[in-house]
Structure 1
Amino acid sequence: MNIQWYPGHMAKTRRMIQENLKLVDMVIELVDSRLPLSSRNPDIDNILGSKPRLLIMNKCDLADPAVNAAWVQWFHDNGINILLVDSITGKGFNDIHNVSRQILKEKIEKEKSKGIVNRAIKLMVVGIPNVGKSSFINKFAGKASAKTGDRPGVTRGKQWIRLKNGYELLDTPGILWPKFEDPEVGKKLAYTGAIKDEIIDIEELTCSLLEFLRDYYPEKLKARYKLDNIAELKGFELLQNIGKNRGCIVAGGDVDTFRTAGIILDEFRGAKIGNISLEKPEGLC
């Protein structure tokens, strides 16, 4: 499975980010905690250059807590400012203010020496589709300021959002990159919904996901779908067994694998199978 997706508005977003960097003090880059490397646009380092940055691992409550901790340590060891947050519960949001001001401490002190105090900190929020940017902004703002949606590609244009807590945020649409050099990256993004299901063979995708869960989270997979002895089963066999257990049967007694695949993807994305990470610091899964 070789997944590519780069709508035209994403090329426009790249130019928009580059043109507006000079207007902000710092960039908040959101990634998905379940795949912190694969959900980072590799072009973003070149786009942002030396602009101060805070990396936020969003959706941390969907990922494996032990793997989250390992990623935090890995990013710290690589000199990257990092926070774990969940935009639904608000977990981790209390730390954003202090960390942001610490990152900008030198600039804030320089402005104070010139008599400039209490100026709103201007932030740009960037990230690939479906990492939860709009939900993050709404939680940060304490109100429904940005459009939200559970499908990639909801935010299409630049919008400034004034907050009560001394910040102004510049939201941007999600930006992928023209070609995934590693096909595994495309698959992982598709697992989480960062790429539209409509352009993917979801049965093939789900078979691949099931084989990943079989290898790395077998107990969670067995518990959720009441399975036994899965070690030797291929993805399609797992898909059929789950379909039977869930009653996804069509005329003639065959399993409706398309419907079953949709159920599994929805349950994975909602963490109903469990808290699962798709990659670890010591190497991509």
Structure 2
Amino acid sequence: MHFQWYPGHMTKARRMMQENIKLIDLVIELVDARIPLSSRNPDIDELGRQKSRLILLNKADLAENKWNDAWIEYFKDKGYLAVKVNSKKGGGIKNIQSVIQEACKEKIERDRKRGILNRPVRAMVVGIPNVGKSTFINTLAGKACAKTGNKPGVTKGKQWIRLNKGVELLDTPGILWPKFEDQQVGMKLAFIGSIKDEILNTEELAAEFLKLMQQHYPGIIAGKYNIEETGDVYEVLNRIAESRHCIVRGNELDVEKAAALLMDDFRSGRLGELTLEYPDRI
């Protein structure tokens, strides 16, 4: 199964980010806490060179907390300021303003020495599609000022949002990168919904997901769907279809529906707190 998705608007978005980077002081990069490395766009490091950096492990409630903490330390060791948040429920959001000030303290001090007081920090919010940028901005601002959706590609253009006298945010569209060197990265992005489901084979995707679950979280699938797990992941998919009454005409099992249901259960956290990559194995 080959993973790639780079529609035309992403090229335009990258160009727009390059043009606007000179206007900003801080790059706030959202990653998905379940796959913190695979959900980082390698282009962001190039774009954000010489800018203050803040990495937010978003959807931290969907990942195992011990691994969230391990990833925070991993990014700090690399020289980034990093915190975990849950934009949907507001977890960790109230501390973000002070974290932004902390990330930009050198810039604020430089301004102060030059006699520039109360100039707002201008931050660009970046990340791959469907990582929760707009939800983060809306929760931080306390109002619906950025479009949100559970499909990749909802934000198509830039928009400035003034949080208060001290902070202005530039919301940007989610961008992937033109070619995944490692197809495992593409696969994990497909798991979390950052690649359009319409261009994927759902059964194959679910089968790959089940292989990962058997490796890292044996027993979770059996417990959730009240089935017996076997080594054959396609047989497991059949059993999920049977357990969840996914039936088509003629009383046949609707395996594609079961596969979509499995992926939705993972993405929404109904399978529990799951982390799919680990800093000690890099």
Please confirm whether the aligned pair reaches a TM-score higher than 0.5, indicating the same fold. Answer: yes
CA displacement 1:170-221 (0-9 Å, x = unmatched): 1110010011111111110001100000000011101111111122112321
Structure 1 CA distance for aligned equivalents of residues 79 and 232 of structure 2: 41
Q: Which amino acid aligns with 1:70?
A: A
Return the offset for 1:114: 2.7
Q: Which moved more, 1:95-104 or 1:34-43?
A: 95-104
Is 1:21 equivalent to 2:21 in the alignment? yes
Give SS of 2:252's match. Answer: coil
Give SS of 1:27's match. Answer: strand
Structure 1 CA distance for aligned equivalents of residues 272 and 107 of structure 2: 43
Return the offset for 1:102: 1.7
Counting matched residue pairs gives 282
Q: Which amino acid aligns with 2:261?
A: I
Gaps of 5+ in 2: none
CA displacement 1:35-85 (0-9 Å, x = unmatched): 000000112111221111101110100111121111112112222210100
CA displacement 1:93-142 (0-9 Å, x = unmatched): 12222222122112211212233222211110010100000000001111
Q: Which amino acid aligns with 1:158?
A: K
Equivalences for 1:100-115 in 2 at 5 Å? 100-115=100-115
Is 1:199 equivalent to 2:202 in the alignment? no
Return the offset for 1:165: 5.7
User: What does residue 72 of structure 1 align with?
Assistant: 72
User: What does residue 273 of structure 2 align with?
Assistant: 275
Gaps of 5+ in 1: none
Give SS of 1:208's match. Answer: helix
Q: Which amino acid aligns with 1:254?
A: E
Equivalences for 1:85-234 in 2 at 5 Å? 85-164=85-164, 166-228=166-228, 230=229, 232-234=230-232
Q: Which amino acid aligns with 2:235?
A: E
Using the size of structure 2 for normalisation, the TM-score is 0.96
Q: Which amino acid aligns with 1:271?
A: G
Q: Which amino acid aligns with 1:249?
A: I
Using the size of structure 1 for normalisation, the TM-score is 0.95
Give SS of 2:213's match. Answer: helix
Return the offset for 1:250: 2.4
CA displacement 1:148-183 (0-9 Å, x = unmatched): 000000000011111136211111100100111111
